[in-house]
Amino acid sequence: MNVFAIIMAGGIGSRFWPRSREKSPKQLLNIFGEDTIIQATIKRIQKTVPLQNIYIVTNVIQKDEMMKQLPDIPSGNFLEEPFGRNTAACIGLASLFIRKVDPQAVTIVLPADHLIYDEDLFHKNLQQAIEFAYEKKKLVTIGIPPTRPETGYGYIQIVDKEVNENVFQVASFAEKPNYATAMRFLDSGDFMWNSGMFIWRVDTIFEEFAMHMPELNFSLQQIDASVNTPEYPSTLSLIYEQIKSISIDYGVMEKSKRVFLVKSQFRWSDVGSWEEVYQLAQKDESGNAFTSDTFADMSRDSYVYAPGKFTALIGVDNVIVIDTGDALLVCRRDLSQNVKKIVDHIKTIHKPELL
């Protein structure tokens, strides 16, 4: 059994502005430790997948830096999308290349920018998913048991009966809920956070594309005919421009009748906001997390990133302060999800240097 990995690495991480920019998005930053997030992702997955079997899907703006940070990945495994078309197209494109090597290969699909602790448990759960996906020809996702009524994640409801060790059938998917609904999900015990991690055989996902996303499947077959030919770049660009932007969740997972879930036993974070960074950071006795020289008086539960700049807080609590030299962010911690609005605003005022 051959096992491959697809790393989805084309996002810009708009909730991490101003550190995260188009040319240096969240996954290329070293937010925790010396390794960047994508370097940590590759180190982690290569314990299960050999480097030559790892494919990185990115874009022209980020590809050079991605290759620089990951010199041990074969250059041909960096796949450049000419346009961002969401996760279904991204996964489909990489799957074409994997299918040419082994049409029955198991593929692990991972976002580039997650943090995972308890790596031995992570690999144990991955192995459970790999074996089930290969033997049963099912679509498998990793579900995270929720620890709080989180409104920033999607949820997956499971049938409360194991079909295999730690494997459950999926009953339904739920979009990001409001707080009251998130509380109900948490109390029910049968809703998991949607991690965005998937495991399946290549032939299985193409069967699902054909059934549930025939337009995308047709486009992928057109691209497939040009792979490893001089016509590939022009064909890819022409076809990709016409592909609809649809997530794999909406396009396949929510419609398929053969979706199963492995309940994670490891700690996980998608590091989706500065609030998540604060929660994960080491804090002092006042609940503050400072990554640079900071004075705080009557200030609690705050996060400051301002390299090379002395920062002072007086009488403010629960704030995020991010200084990158050319931009300064100050926001309440509970509103950190709204940082993406700044990126939308910058686009309207035509200041590309801040993107």
d(CA 77, CA 45): 15
Give me the pLDDT at residue 261, please.
98
Amino acid found at 146: P
User: How much is the pLDDT for 31?
Assistant: 86
Q: What is the pLDDT of residue 152?
A: 85
Half-sphere exposure of 90 (CA within 13 A, CB side): 27
**Domain extents for the chain?**
3-269, 274-354
Q: What is the pLDDT at residue 146?
A: 94
Q: Which of the residues in the chain have pLDDT under 70?
A: none
Q: How many CB atoms lie within 10 A of CB 47?
A: 11
Dig out the tokens for 1 from the structure: 């059994």
3-269: which CATH architecture? Alpha-Beta Complex (3.90)
The helix-helix angle for 86-101 and 202-212 (nearest 10°) equals: 140
Q: What pLDDT, on the 0 to 100 scale, is given for residue 34? A: 87
Please name the residue that has the structure tokens 């796949």: 79
Measured torsion, CA atoms of residues 308, 275, 338, 241, in degrees rounded to the nearest 10 = 90
